[in-house]
Structure 1
Amino acid sequence: MELFLYSFEFESSQGKTLIFADPHLGFEPFRGINVRSRFERKLAEFVISEDPDLVIILGDIKEDLGLREYTRRVLLEFFRMLRDYRIIITKGNHDGRIEEVTKKFDNVSVVEYYLLDEALFLHGHRSLPNVEFKRAFLGHIHPTAIISLKGVKRKVKCFVKAGNFVILPTINPFFEGMDIREGIKLVPFLKDVRSVDLLIPPSIHIEGYSI
């Protein structure tokens, strides 16, 4: 699974910083999947392979809106594997009661938003916080776009740039995503945007995609 395609890595004042969005761990029973994907382990192994100084997860770390025992077990395994890494979670709409798990791990913080080097990190389901920033990164809407590749129309995951805002696709390879034309309406501070730029991994760049 090429998880690196749907994450973003950069150097910050905190060192090597890895960000990704919407893993929705423990999704299987909530999506009618009877086979364990063990995605939590694969995602943790990916983080370890990147060896960042800081990990920022842009919300919806879990699928369960509450915290069933199955979800708790999945999260505990994930965080145990990453005890050696500093993790910031910007709380998403699926992250109810997440603190009941993260309080067991001193390296994990759950916040509504996070500011780093004039960049704002948040999930994207609520209004903007009253803070100053130069750019912002969010998730929430699992953006996809319909594009034509060699004459065949395909629905593909994409990064979306709308002014100073960058929306990351879900890092979960089992989730396809939502058409950006519909999804962007679910972000309160971007719902009036009419044109965006798309980056489709690994190398397709589309400017002025009308929504």
Structure 2
Amino acid sequence: MRVIEKDGIKWFLKEEELKDIVNALQLEGNGRRYYYTAPYKEKKIFIKLFLEKGTAGALRNRFSPRGEKEYKLSEKLKSIGICTPEPFGYGSGKKISCVIEEFIEGESFIQILLKGKADRATLFSLLSSFLNTLKKNHIRHNDLHLDNILIYDGKLYLIDLHKMKFKKRFTLNDEVSNLTHALAMVYDDMKEKEKEAFFSTYGSPALRSYVEENLQRLRRRWIRKKKKRAF
């Protein structure tokens, strides 16, 4: 890894040419997360910056910086054949961490589904098979909504990995968590035959009742949060 320091951030880069991009990077604003893209070797790279605030953020950044974590998880996913953007490096500073990765020229699963850009049965079959692959590899994503699955060239890409975990033991709770978060945005609009086909392709029709129960809990939680914001 090539190592450089800029603006209080120590960067670890796979390739020498990335130094010019890092040196040209201008960090602005005071939010929690920033995204940049830049041309790189006839393609694009994507740079994500996590700004850490408060005591919890400081502790997290000291012991498990999100940028470094996402980089290492990307490497591990690639090593077992699960599609995710190619990681190129990461950076860490006092209140910030960063990751540099390949920019995927695709669209999110939910965008393609809602725009009718592909056959629904094919999409749900791809999704159920993909979730089954995560199960077989003991992967719990922890933020698996359909904007965090991209479709490019007929393949599904998993992104936003900093909350993800490889579990030694993959429990029913882990499995239902992945399924519930993945289906939360679309389940009410799925037809009965689509639901049956989804769980059949996944290989566990009996899980449907657990997932539907968990979806109800999620909805109640969202309603409570909305009520708190309203008052």
State TM-score, norm by structure 2. Answer: 0.24
Larger Rg: 2
Per chain length, whose mean CA-contact separation is higher, i.e. which structure has more relative contact order (CA < 8 Å, sep 6+)? 1
